C-alpha cells in the first residue's frame, strides 16, 4: 500500500499562544499563520496544552516540555512523517518551540517564533516591583526555568524571530529578541556591566518604572480624548441627523422621523446589519 503523499510534505508543529487552544487558530484574527502554512502545502500538527480543550492535567513548563517532545515523537514514529519538520510558536508557545528545536536538532529543520518572551524569571522581575519579587516568583513558580533566549541562540537550524514593539504583555526588555541579543553579547564579549558590576546599573528597574509611567500617561490621555471625542461625536450626529431630515428627542431613545428621509435611513441600517451578519 502506497503511503499518503502528505507524509512527504514539510510539517509544522504548532505551539499555541497563552490561554488559547488550537481550535481558536482556525478563525480570524488568529488564523493568519495557519492559513499561510496550509496554503503552501505544509502540514500542521496542532495540539492543546494540558487543561485546554479535551486535554487533561495541569499545565506547567516542565509538563509542557514533555508533551511537546511527545508530539514530535508521535509525528516521526506514529505518523511516519518523511518531509522536513519545523516548529512555530507564538507567545508562550515560543518557549516550547525553542526547547524542541534546540534539544532535537536531528529532527528540526526550521524554527519560527512570534512575539515570545526570552526568560521567565526576568519577565517576573520586570512585572513585579520590590525587593521581594524574586522570592515571590520562586515561591509560586517552584523556580521554573524557562530559558528561551539561550535555546534560540543555540539553535543551529534556519530560524526566524518576529516581535511586536507595542506588545502590552511582554515589554521590550523581556521580549525574546532583546534577551537573545543579551545572550549573544555575553557569549561574544563576556558578562555585561549590568551583570558583573559590584553596584549594578539597575537598567531593568529604571526601564520598568518609565514603562509604567508611560502606560499611565497613555491611559489618561486616551480617557481624556475619548471623553472629548464623545461630546464632539454627539454634536456631530445631531447636525447630521438634522441634515438627513429627522430630529432626535434626547429624552426619547426612538428617533422621531420627518419628511422622506426615514425610508432611506432604514434601508441603510438594514443593509449594514446584513453585511455584519
Cα pseudo-dihedral 64, 65, 68, 74, rounded to 10 = -120
pLDDT tens digit string along 29-82?
Answer: 888 999 999 999 999 999 999 998 888 888 788 899 999 999 999 999 999 999
Crossing angle for the helix pair 203-244 and 120-127, nearest 10 degrees?
A: 70
pLDDT tens digit string along 234-246?
Answer: 566 555 555 545 4
**H-only helix segments in the chain:** 32-39, 61-73, 93-103, 120-127, 133-141, 148-154, 176-189, 193-196, 203-244, 261-276
pLDDT reported for residue 229: 66
pLDDT reported for residue 139: 57
pLDDT tens digit string along 228-273?
Answer: 766 655 566 555 555 545 444 444 444 443 444 333 333 333 344 4
Mean pLDDT score across all residues of the chain = 77
Check: CB of residue 100 under 8 Å from CB of residue 13.
Answer: yes
User: What band does 119 get if pLDDT is binned at 50, 70 and 90?
Assistant: confident
Average pLDDT for residues 108-118, to the nearest whole number? 95
pLDDT reported for residue 97: 97
Q: What domains are defined for the chain?
A: 5-201 (3.40.50.1820), 245-277 (no CATH)
pLDDT reported for residue 268: 38
pLDDT reported for residue 192: 55
Whether the per-residue pLDDT at 209 is higher than 90: the answer is no
- Grid cell 432604514 — which residue? 266
Amino acid at each position: 500500500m502506497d503511503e499518503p503523499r502528505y507524509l512527504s510534505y514539510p510539517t509544522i508543529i504548532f505551539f499555541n499562544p497563552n490561554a488559547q487552544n488550537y481550535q481558536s487558530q482556525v478563525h480570524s484574527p488568529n488564523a493568519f499563520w495557519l492559513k499561510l502554512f496550509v496554503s503552501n502545502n505544509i502540514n500542521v500538527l496542532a495540539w492543546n496544552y494540558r487543561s485546554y480543550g479535551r486535554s487533561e492535567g495541569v499545565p506547567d513548563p516542565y509538563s509542557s516540555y514533555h508533551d511537546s517532545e511527545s508530539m514530535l515523537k508521535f509525528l516521526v514514529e506514529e505518523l511516519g512523517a518523511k518531509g522536513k519538520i519545523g516548529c512555530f510558536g507564538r507567545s508562550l508557545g515560543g518557549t516550547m518551540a525553542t526547547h524542541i528545536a534546540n534539544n532535537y536538532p536531528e529532527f528540526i529543520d526550521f524554527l519560527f517564533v512570534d512575539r515570545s518572551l526570552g526568560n521567565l524569571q526576568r519577565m517576573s522581575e520586570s512585572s513585579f516591583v520590590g525587593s521581594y519579587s524574586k522570592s515571590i516568583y520562586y515561591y509560586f513558580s517552584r523556580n521554573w526555568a524557562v530559558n528561551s533566549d539561550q535555546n534560540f541562540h543555540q539553535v543551529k537550524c534556519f530560524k526566524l524571530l518576529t516581535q511586536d514593539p507595542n506588545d502590552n504583555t511582554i515589554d521590550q526588555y523581556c521580549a525574546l529578541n532583546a534577551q537573545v541579543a543579551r545572550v549573544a553579547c555575553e557569549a561574544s564579549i563576556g558578562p555585561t556591566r549590568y551583570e558583573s558590576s559590584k553596584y549594578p546599573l539597575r537598567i531593568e528597574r529604571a526601564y520598568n518604572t518609565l514603562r509604567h509611567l508611560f502606560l499611565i500617561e497613555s491611559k489618561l490621555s486616551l480617557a481624556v480624548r475619548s471623553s472629548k471625542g464623545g461630546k464632539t461625536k454627539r454634536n456631530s450626529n445631531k447636525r447630521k441627523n438634522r441634515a438627513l431630515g429627522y430630529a432626535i428627542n434626547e429624552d426619547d431613545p426612538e428617533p422621531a422621523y420627518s419628511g422622506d428621509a426615514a425610508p432611506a435611513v432604514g434601508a441603510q441600517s438594514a443593509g449594514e446589519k446584513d453585511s455584519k451578519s
